[in-house]
Amino acid sequence: MLSHHDRQELEKIERWFELTEPALAARLRAGRPARPPLLRLAVLLSLDLTAALLMLLGLILNSPALLLTGMITVTTAVIAHLSRFGRD
């Protein structure tokens, strides 16, 4: 249970948050998560598809260069997906 002082501090933070980010505060109050922008989603999906195709071609053609490029692209895609959690 929060003390009286802690509740007052929390209310101050809530008021500040509602003043600085009203749209986000309204979405959080409604319980709906923010949707990622369509362009970002398209870039992430194309990065995933490119990585998969490069690795598949690298395996089919027995090309270490394509396989390595695919693995680097997969790593980039994972980092891009994980960085999304910090923004949303």
pLDDT digits (tens, 9 = 90+) for 57-83: 999 999 999 999 999 999 999 998 888
DSSP one-letter code for 1: -
Across the chain, where does the E strand assignment appear?
A: none
DSSP one-letter code for 54: H
Domain boundaries, the chain: 1-34, 35-88
Predicted confidence (pLDDT) at residue 9 exceeds the cutoff of 80: yes
Give the closest residue to 17 by CA, choosing from 25, 29, 6: 25
